[in-house]
Chains A and B, each alone.
Chain A
Amino acid sequence: MTDAGRPVHLVVLAGLATGAYALALAAVATLQSGADQALIRDRAPAIAMIDQAAAAHDDLAATVDVAARRYRTLAARYDALGGSIDTYESTLDELFARTAAISASVSALPTRIQLPSVPSIPAAAPRSQPATHATTGASG
């Protein structure tokens, strides 16, 4: 005891306790940091794959967008053609109707026709050989 009311051993004890706590805290912090680094290393490939997947998703989204625009364009063209197709179909209907009418007319025709008798025609006189300039044939 040096001073009355100030026990030295208590002060030393408190200092030791504080130092021990600091050391323990430093040790725990060191251990925690190592664990975090290991965890980061383990997760790095997965993070890279996630980044690739995200990029691929962006590309896919862009492709889908292009396809959607093309689809809209084609749909517009199809709408424009619709009127023409309707016209063709109506024309085909008319053609079918006319063909059916012709078929009906043909089937109504007689299979044989009796021709009127005609007077006999005398045979034409045989044409004589015209005069010629030369003859083609075998050579000697």
Chain B
Amino acid sequence: MASPLRLITVGAHDPDEAWAATCAEFAAAEAAMTRYRPDSELTRLNARAGDGPPVLVDRRLRRAVIACDRAARVTGGCFDARIVVDLERLGDGGVPQRAPGAHGGRGTVARLVRTHERPGRLAIDDPIDLGGIGKGLALRWARDLLHRRPMAGFLLEAGGDLVAHRSAPDDGAWRIAVEDPSGGPGALAVLGVRDLAVVTSSVRRRHWMAAGRPVHHLIDPTTGEPADGGLRAVTVAGSDPAWAEVWSKALFVRGRREIGPIARSRGLAAWWVTDEGALEMTPHARTLTEWVAAEA
């Protein structure tokens, strides 16, 4: 969350109103799902994690927690919002979500939602982080708002993740550059997409030193340590930004040896960059790729 927003509209009757609606939706999503604010609903929910009573939460937070619960099961535990404990242990910023030492451990795949029998109330067993999937959900909800407005197309970007709808201003596909995770100035590839979300999980920015060693924010839930599977970035294109976010993280965690078979078996359009800087992709991704730097 707290990502810079950018909206390009094509043929919109009232682009300023569309922009205002988008900003309002992201503000509401951030108020519900960020762990970088002490007054957010997520911070309040995490503080009650464990033995606390069910908390009355906004529908956005409720849907996000349920989405995380399902994502953990669908990805076999490779996506797990409970890695916030490991992020805090490694020194990642944000408002502390739980007292040090209070974490009691977790299984590989477990349900996040402890009980929600009463309408609007939610309880969780462990503190969670909704950073990535929260941004994906915010993009989904903002996209749905923009869909209801008359326009020929739009591109909504939130901190490197984006949703492309219909046609670009030149009536063609929206062309999206894939960033070089090693920091190079040029793009590694250019994609041409319509009606798709494009999401990237990368270690280019959120990395730091912890106890004298380099760490990053993409945690392997099975080890509690930064994923070290030989990848630097994974980009996934799909119809839904939240699930593209889920798969980009899950594939990153699986590493370079497993990412290809898994992505192909699920029919995902996925691009990934290895530690050596090589860009690889699935057959579905190839159909969306208009230009590759290594092939130019």
Interface residues of A (CB under 8 A from B): 126-140
Contact = CB atoms under 8 A, between A and B. Distances in A.
Nearest to B169: A133
B159 interface: yes
B59 to A, nearest CB: 25
Interface string B152-164: 0001011111101
A129 B175 CA distance: 11
B198 A136 contact: yes
A139 B235 CA distance: 12
B290 interface: yes
Contact of B6 (A128, A134, A139): A134
18 contacts: A126-B296, A130-B291, A133-B164, A134-B174, A134-B176, A135-B160, A136-B160, A136-B162, A137-B181, A137-B233, A138-B206, A138-B233, A139-B3, A139-B158, A139-B159, A139-B161, A140-B3, A140-B206
Given A127-B296, A129-B186, A130-B291, A136 B206 contact: no
B22 to A, nearest CB: 15
What secondary structure prevails in chain A residues at the interface with B?
Answer: loop
Contacts of B187: 129, 132, 135
Contacts of B191: 136
B293 interface: yes
Given A127-B291, A138-B203, A133 B135 contact: no
Interface residues of B, number: 39
Interface in B266-294: 290-291, 293
B227 to A, nearest CB: 14
B160 A137 contact: yes
A128 B162 CA distance: 24
Contacts of B176: 132-136
A127 to B, nearest CB: 5
Contacts of B164: 133
Contact of B155 (A128, A131, A133, A139): A133
A24 to B, nearest CB: 109
Interface in B31-77: none
Contacts of B159: 139-140
B178 interface: yes
A127 B8 CA distance: 27
